[in-house]
Every structure is written in structure tokens, then in C-alpha cells.
């Protein structure tokens, strides 16, 4: 049996490919976790309401869907391009490229068995050895026992010949497989435009998605005080029936303190409409509601903002005895 070449690029390539695949696994895991965090966990954890204005305005929801789809598509394609390096690569004699054949033909003294001048000749020798081995096995099967020792030796030698040539061909096909893996690894680097585009899509989509979900700050309630959130009280409005229906539907009676419902005034305009959120008194069965108030159903009284007051104090003089 001829010895296989002691040194070939295959060993170095196999080591490099293994290291690259290990690195690619971590890159895929990191991208998947990043995508899940940006597009999945962040909106859930923050508990965002998909509306900039009111529940009837779907602008924010549509914007989030559009940029989220773009970003998620870019992230998936980026993961796919990196994940392709983890897919197995197999190659046989029929898959050998002309470059591989030319390399082994040029180095036949060290990379091919003795007496073989080309990869194609090695393939023919292997095929002939397999046919010869099959014929010997058929002949031995037709011989009545006991089988002569010389026949057993011939079959053993034929099988050893097949294994020897198959090992040499395995060296050639392994070279091709590693070369294909190297080409796959360098594929993204050879297409920097596509890679950069996917990165921009993924990053831009993730940033846009989170910005689209960002809630606008509440408008300052009318009555001064800049952007400070106001505290007020809710009382029945000008239409008793509408007020009673509001109180019953939202269970505001459970929220009342001295006949009034304490609320946080989140927004208010010049037209007199307010957006409020109920405040549940301690130990009450009051549910927290956020809604817009119109004059017919309720009126809002905003408590005056506390103002600092300076008090001058001097100790009372003690009476002299």
C-alpha cells in the first residue's frame, strides 16, 4: 500500500474551516438573540401602546409593521448568509473542479499514488480495482468449500488495493470539499455591497422599529405649569344620563373620594377636552382607566399646583419673671 502524502493543504484547511465554523455558530446565535431582543422582547417588556394620538390612529402601528418587517428581513438574510457556512459540503470525483485536478496532476509525485499521473487515471484505477474485487468475490462464492488459501489471499489483496486507491481519492475529494468551504466562507467578503446593505437594513429597521414604538410625551394639561402632569377631580357633567352611564360602565363610584373621582390629567386642549387616568384610592376596588373627557359626561377640576410660601418665624419671647 502506498503511503498518503504527509503534508497537504487539507490539514491546514480543515483546521481553519473548523475554527471558522465555530465562530460562525456564535455569530448566528448573537444575531438571533439580538433580533429577538430588538423585535420581540423590547416592545413586550416596555408594554408600549401602538398609538401616537388616540386608539383610532393606526399610523404608529403601520409604521412599526413596515420598518419592523424591513429590519427583520435584513436580520434573517444576514443570519442566513452567515449560517450557510455551517451547512455540510460533500464532493465526489464527478464534482472535482479543473483547478483541483490541475493541482494534483502538477504534484503527482507527492499527492498521487506511485504510477499514477493524473486524477482521472486514479479514478479509472479505482473503478478497475473495484470491478476486479467484485469479480473475485463472485468467483469465491461459486467455489465449494474449503476455499483455497491462494483465493483468499487474492481477494484480500484486491480489497486492500481498493482501500488504498479509495484513500488517495478521498484525499482529492477532501481537498475539493475544503476548497468549496473556503469559497463559501469568503463569499460574503467578496460581496461587500450585499453584506453592507443587509447590515444597514437590519440596523436601520431595528432602530426605526423601536423609534416607531416610542410613545410621544403627554401634552401639558391646560391651566399653565408647562409640561407638568396635573392632578384633578372628575365630577358629573352637564348630561346626567351620560354621566351616570360613564360612572356605571367604568365603575367610577369605587374610585370616588368625598363624591369626586381623583384623576391624573395627562393632556388637555383649548377645546376643554381632557385625557385623564383614574387614581385608585388605597384599599378600593377601583380599576385604572385612561380616557378622554367631554363636557357632557364629566367635568374636570384641576387642583392648583402647590406654590412655595416663605414664612418668617421668630421664637416667642419668654415672659420675664
Whole-prediction pTM: 0.45
- Section 9-18 average pLDDT: 60
Residue 41 in grid coordinates: 422582547
Beta carbons of 162 and 113 less than 8 angstroms apart: no
Beta carbons of 276 and 269 less than 8 angstroms apart: no
Comparing 119 with 213, which gets the higher pLDDT? 119
- Section 274-303 average pLDDT: 81
Phi-psi region of 30 (alpha: psi -120 to 50; beta: other; left: phi over 0): alpha
Beta carbons of 188 and 81 less than 8 angstroms apart: yes
List the alpha helices (DSSP H) in the chain: 9-36, 42-46, 59-83, 98-106, 108-111, 119-142, 149-190, 192-212, 240-250
| Sign, Cα dihedral of 144, 146, 151, 152 | positive
pLDDT tens per residue across span 201-260: 887 887 777 777 666 554 444 444 445 567 888 888 888 888 888 888 888 888 888 888
Q: List the single range of 112-116, 217-221, 294-298 with lowest mean pLDDT.
A: 217-221
CA angle 21, 22, 24 (to 5 degrees): 60
Give the β-pairing of 274-278 and 230-236: unpaired
pLDDT tens per residue across span 39-86: 666 555 455 555 444 556 667 777 777 887 888 888 888 777 777 777
Q: What is the pLDDT of residue 218?
A: 47
Q: What is the pLDDT of residue 270?
A: 57
* CA-wise closest residue to 75 among 111, 32, 104, 107: 32
- Section 5-18 average pLDDT: 56
Cα atoms in the Cβ-side hemisphere of radius 13 Å centred on 229: 9
CA angle 48, 49, 53 (to 5 degrees): 135
Q: What is the pLDDT of residue 120?
A: 92
Which residues are paired to 96 by β-bridges? none
CA 216 and chain centroid, separation:
27
Arithmetic mean of pLDDT over the chain? 76
- Section 125-129 average pLDDT: 92
Residue 33 above 50 pLDDT?
Answer: yes
CB contact set of 147 (below 8 Å; sequence gap of 6+):
140
CB contact set of 192 (below 8 Å; sequence gap of 6+):
none
Residue 319 above 60 pLDDT?
Answer: yes
CA angle 270, 226, 60 (to 5 degrees): 70
pLDDT tens per residue across span 86-107: 777 778 888 888 988 998 899 8
Q: What is the pLDDT of residue 7?
A: 44
pLDDT tens per residue across span 177-206: 888 877 776 666 556 677 677 778 887 887
Q: What is the pLDDT of residue 225?
A: 43
Residues 140 and 157: their CA atoms lie apart, in Å, by 14
Residue 137 above 70 pLDDT?
Answer: yes
List the alpha helices (DSSP H) in 37-58: 42-46
Amino acid at each position: 500500500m502506498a503511503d498518503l502524502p504527509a503534508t497537504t493543504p487539507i490539514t491546514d484547511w480543515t483546521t481553519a474551516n473548523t475554527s471558522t465554523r465555530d465562530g460562525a455558530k456564535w455569530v448566528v446565535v448573537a444575531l438571533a438573540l439580538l433580533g429577538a431582543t430588538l423585535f420581540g422582547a423590547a416592545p413586550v417588556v416596555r408594554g408600549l401602546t401602538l398609538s401616537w394620538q388616540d386608539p383610532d390612529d393606526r399610523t404608529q402601528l403601520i409604521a412599526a409593521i413596515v420598518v419592523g418587517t424591513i429590519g427583520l428581513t435584513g436580520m434573517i438574510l444576514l443570519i442566513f448568509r452567515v449560517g450557510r457556512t455551517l451547512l455540510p459540503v460533500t464532493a465526489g470525483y464527478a464534482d472535482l473542479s479543473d483547478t483541483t485536478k490541475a493541482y494534483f496532476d502538477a504534484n503527482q509525485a507527492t499527492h498521487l499514488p506511485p504510477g499514477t499521473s493524473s486524477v482521472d487515471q486514479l479514478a479509472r484505477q479505482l473503478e478497475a480495482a473495484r470491478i476486479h474485487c467484485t469479480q473475485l468475490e463472485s468467483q469465491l462464492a461459486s467455489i465449494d468449500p474449503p476455499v483455497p488459501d491462494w483465493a483468499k489471499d487474492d481477494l484480500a489483496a484486491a480489497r486492500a488495493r481498493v482501500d488504498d486507491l479509495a484513500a488517495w481519492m478521498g484525499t482529492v475529494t477532501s481537498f475539493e470539499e475544503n476548497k468549496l468551504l473556503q469559497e463559501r466562507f469568503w463569499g460574503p467578503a467578496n460581496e461587500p455591497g450585499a453584506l453592507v446593505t443587509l447590515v444597514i437594513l437590519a440596523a436601520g429597521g431595528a432602530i426605526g422599529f423601536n423609534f416607531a414604538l416610542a410613545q410621544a410625551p403627554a401634552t401639558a394639561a391646560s391651566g399653565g405649569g408647562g409640561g407638568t402632569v396635573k392632578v384633578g377631580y372628575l365630577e358629573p357633567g352637564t348630561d346626567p344620563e351620560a354621566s351616570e352611564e360613564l360612572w356605571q360602565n367604568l365603575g367610577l363610584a369605587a374610585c370616588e373620594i368625598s363624591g369626586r373621582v381623583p384623576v391624573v390629567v395627562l393632556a388637555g386642549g383649548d377645546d376643554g377636552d381632557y385625557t385623564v387616568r383614574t387614581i385608585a384610592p388605597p384599599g378600593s376596588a377601583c380599576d385604572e382607566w385612561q380616557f378622554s373627557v367631554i363636557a357632557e359626561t364629566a367635568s374636570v377640576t384641576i387642583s392648583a399646583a402647590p406654590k412655595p410660601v416663605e414664612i418668617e418665624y421668630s421664637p416667642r419671647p419668654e415672659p420675664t419673671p
